[in-house]
């Protein structure tokens, strides 16, 4: 039996009691109306392309009540990319994917602090440009400096607003778009809670930063692996 994404997410809403307190954005509803669906996914990787991430950002912006930036407001660059599915497939003759970076005018002003346990590292801008070199295999790691327990993004050009994001790696390419609209974004990767005893509970972290807006960005694999239990 086949299940549409919408049915799966609706079942998760019921199971975890989210129906009355959160709005689900169904991937099938958003992307099926987006034109050429092949532009939204990589051939050799499980993540969304930047085009797909942008469409997801627009859907999130609609639910949060603000107008998204247009595509023309981003400077785009392309890089040859082979994702994790390529390495697992053994189909070595498949042509490379096109990994893009979309940079907004605000990006160079972003302060991005990644926190792993007690170690904090601050960066400027949302991209780890070292990961875009020709000799780097995992170029997707360029987005927000790959995965970390907590990532704090500050946009000094926005006076107020705090967004709290629970995410897996899909969020790394989507959240930089949202940084145009908030002074502070706190990202928590709940997958790290398995091996980081110092990681605060999501509710504690949201309260600490007085977050008013919340977004959960998960791929189905993360949900199926039980990480959604950490939302409690």
Distance CA 87, CA 171 (A): 22
Which residue is associated with the tokens 């998204």? Answer: 68
Helix (H, G, I), strand (E, B) or coil at 112: strand
Compute the distance between CA of residue 140 and CA of residue 101 in angstroms, rounded to an integer.
Answer: 10
Measure the CA–CA gap between 145 and 211, rounded to whole angstroms: 23
State how many domains the chain has: 1
What is the C-alpha to C-alpha distance for residues 166 and 29, in angstroms, rounded to an integer?
A: 22
∠179-185-25 over CA atoms, to 5°? 75
**Does the pLDDT value for residue 208 go beyond 80?**
yes
Q: Which domain holds residue 77?
A: 5-231
Dihedral over alpha carbons 40, 150, 131, 156 (to 10 degrees): 90
Instruction: Quick: pLDDT tens for 171-207.
Output: 999 999 999 999 999 999 988 876 677 788 888 999 9
| Residue 115 clears pLDDT 60, i.e. is over it | yes
């Amino acid at each position: 039996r086949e299940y549409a994404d919408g049915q799966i997410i609706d079942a998760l809403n019921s199971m975890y009691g989210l129906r009355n307190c959160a709005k689900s954005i169904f991937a099938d509803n958003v992307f099926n109306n987006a034109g050429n669906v092949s532009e939204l996914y990589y051939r050799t990787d499980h993540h969304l392309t930047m085009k797909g991430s942008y469409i997801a950002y627009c859907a999130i912006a609609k639910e949060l009540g603000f107008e998204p930036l247009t595509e023309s407001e981003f400077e785009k660059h392309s890089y040859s990319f082979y994702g994790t599915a390529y390495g697992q497939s053994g189909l070595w003759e498949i042509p490379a994917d096109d990994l893009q970076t979309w940079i907004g005018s605000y990006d160079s002003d972003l302060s991005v602090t990644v926190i792993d346990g007690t170690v904090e590292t601050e960066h400027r801008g949302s991209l780890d440009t070292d990961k875009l070199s020709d000799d780097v295999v995992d170029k997707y790691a360029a987005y927000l400096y790959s995965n970390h327990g907590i990532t704090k993004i500050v946009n000094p050009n926005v006076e107020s607003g705090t967004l709290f994001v629970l995410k897996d790696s899909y969020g790394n390419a989507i959240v930089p778009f949202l940084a145009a609209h908030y002074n502070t974004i706190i990202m928590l990767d709940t997958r790290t809670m398995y091996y980081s005893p110092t990681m605060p509970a999501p509710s504690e972290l949201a309260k600490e930063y007085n977050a008013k807006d919340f977004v959960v960005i998960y791929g189905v694999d993360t949900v199926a692996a039980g990480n959604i239990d950490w939302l409690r």
